Structure 1
Amino acid sequence: MLDYVTDADDPRLSDYTRLRDVELRKSLEAERGLFLAEGEKVIRRAIGAGYPIRSVLTTPRWLTDLEDVLGDATVYVASEEIMSGIAGFPVHRGALASMERLPLPAVETLLKGASRRLLVLEDLVDHANVGAIFRSAAALGVDGIILSPRCADPLYRRAVKVAMGAVFSIPYARMDDWFEGLSQLREAGYQTLALTPDQTTTPLDIVKTADRVALLLGSEGDGLSSHWLEEADETVCIPMSAAAMAAGVDSLNVVAAAAIACHGLMRSAEPPSEQG
């Protein structure tokens, strides 16, 4: 159903208001059980992943690009000026979709599945970083992601946008209990590896991994908590070059570290090649 709107204050568009007001959006989206997908590719991926559409807000220019996947959804069509007034900034990708959230699986459900390689994120609060890590994990074949209770929401608009929709393609769950979270992983048969900048720990590329491994990544500033470092089965690092260390570069940002670690983690899951 198409509905042309001419007023940025139209109450029917309240799902889309003040998108850069983080606290408002977190409250509004939690209360209404929604998230926003931005741009044609991300909207298509959200629909393909089974998220129901609440409504779509777009401009006439972008309408035809989405017609084949919108079905009988309510579609609000506005000028670029009106759309910018609603969102609070120019929406260069031309389309926004308000989607209904699906229930998250319990951590136990994720752990009981066929997942062999997991990432566990402790207190990463930057939505862009969380989105980028999801994108790396999905691209490199990680089986799932577990979030600590205080981690940023992967379905927040900024995270979804940075992930290019990868948050829809990789299973994830959120812990209820940070303090006992690693015990739950070990009970499910996972080896827990804590990634740290400390170059005296075991290099990730030579660590002996078990069949099921959970790699722990810490927050943007402080890294992993002392509790999780102590609780982990082993601490590991990404080796830095001697030249980098001499120049005072002793670590990577969490997104770069996650991408390298995901690659190493998945290589360790590959069966050894046959010689002969």
Structure 2
Amino acid sequence: MATFVEIDDPADPRLADYRDLRDVELRKHLEAEHGLFLAEGGKVVRRAVEAGYAARSFLMAPRWLDGLADVLASTDAPCYVVSEALAEEVTGFHVHRGALASLERRPLPSVEEVLAGARSVLVLEEIVDHTNVGAILRCGAALGFDAVLLAPRCADPLYRRAVKVAMGAVFTMPWTRLPDWYDALPSLSAAGFTTVALTLADDATEIEHAVAGLDKVALVLGSEGHGLSARWEQAADRRAIIPMAAGIDSLNVAAATAVACYVTARR
């Protein structure tokens, strides 16, 4: 069972995992150095622990203890009990969901492990916004996709904001990073997947037609700004577009993912 420790000093060194959560660069460095990530909110904390991630510690306001009593009973990690005002002072924002947990990261699986048995996967190139990455993982999980592969420069799916937006899907959806950006798509084609790039290219066909009748599909999505690189756009087996009304050329990448996943799941 968790050990409950009441803390009233915002400078207490035991709260180091939870400091300055709005400073993205600082957090990326700290979390990589210590091999940790944060889960925010009762539902997400519960899903992380139930998925088997080992807790380093918990940070909670008193009113959230009862709702997570069974989770706290399942671990020996300390639970730091603080006022909501102190939590805000330490983290840098109002923790309106009342509960945070610091958890141990796991080594990433290989691409081969993630793709084993998969028929529908998402492949992300240089999507750098944590909110978009979290939303994409949630879309993929909700619509029956089997795995997500991320190019080396994509945002971290275990960054707090991505975890929160994904509502814990990052803990159940198999994912990993691609070790080789340049030949990633040809390697997927060699593994039996038809790679379908979402793009505005002149030879793009409607998404329904691009995925119709395919067995193993890899939907390929590009960055929020310029979309896919020329290398990935040209390396894909097919190029697809979501038809838009006049005057609009595209959707936000997370919204486009939801549409493309829905169509692909019904193929």
TM-score, L = length of structure 1: 0.93
> How many residues in Structure 1 have an aligned counterpart in Structure 2?
262
TM-superposed deviation, 1:198: 4.1
| 2:251 aligned partner, one-letter code | L
TM-superposed deviation, 1:73: 2.2
1:3-39: CA deviation from partner (whole Å, max 9, x where unpaired): 0001111001100000000000000000111000001
Pick from 178, 182, 192 the counterpart of residue 195 of structure 2: 192
TM-superposed deviation, 1:209: 4.2
Q: Confirm or deny that 1:153 pairs with 2:156.
A: yes
1:27-62: CA deviation from partner (whole Å, max 9, x where unpaired): 000011100000100001001111011000001111
Corresponding residue of 1:169:
172
Question: 3-state SS of the aligned residue for 1:142?
Answer: coil
Once the two structures are superposed, the pairs formed by residues 118-137 of structure 1 within 5 Å of their partners are 118-137=121-140
Q: Confirm or deny that 1:83 pairs with 2:87.
A: yes
Q: 1:185 to 1:200 in 2, by over 3 A?
A: closer
Corresponding residue of 1:217:
221
Q: Confirm or deny that 1:142 pairs with 2:141.
A: no
| 1:21 aligned partner, one-letter code | D
Corresponding residue of 1:273:
none
The CA distance in 2 between the partners of 1:177 and 1:188, in whole Å, is 15
TM-superposed deviation, 1:110: 1.7
Question: 3-state SS of the aligned residue for 1:205?
Answer: helix
TM-superposed deviation, 1:103: 1.5
| RMSD of aligned alpha carbons | 1.1
The CA distance in 2 between the partners of 1:169 and 1:205, in whole Å, is 28
Corresponding residue of 1:105:
109
Q: Is the CA contact 1:40–1:66 (under 8 Å) kept in the aligned structure 2?
A: yes
Q: Is the CA contact 1:199–1:237 (under 8 Å) kept in the aligned structure 2?
A: no
Corresponding residue of 1:230:
234
Q: Is the CA contact 1:194–1:229 (under 8 Å) kept in the aligned structure 2?
A: yes
| 2:185 aligned partner, one-letter code | L
Q: Is the CA contact 1:192–1:234 (under 8 Å) kept in the aligned structure 2?
A: yes
Corresponding residue of 2:265:
266
| 2:231 aligned partner, one-letter code | H
Corresponding residue of 1:27:
29
- Structure 1 residue runs without a partner (length 5+): 269-276
TM-superposed deviation, 1:199: 6.6
Corresponding residue of 2:98:
94
1:179-224: CA deviation from partner (whole Å, max 9, x where unpaired): 1111221121111111113475211112234211101000001101
Corresponding residue of 1:257:
256
Pick from 114, 119, 130 the counterpart of residue 117 of structure 2: 114
Question: 3-state SS of the aligned residue for 1:250?
Answer: coil
Corresponding residue of 2:206:
203
| 1:261 aligned partner, one-letter code | A
Question: 3-state SS of the aligned residue for 1:120?
Answer: strand
Pick from 180, 186, 193 the counterpart of residue 183 of structure 1: 186
The CA distance in 2 between the partners of 1:150 and 1:168, in whole Å, is 20
TM-score, L = length of structure 2: 0.96
1:219-262: CA deviation from partner (whole Å, max 9, x where unpaired): 0011010000110101011112xxx22xx212111111000001
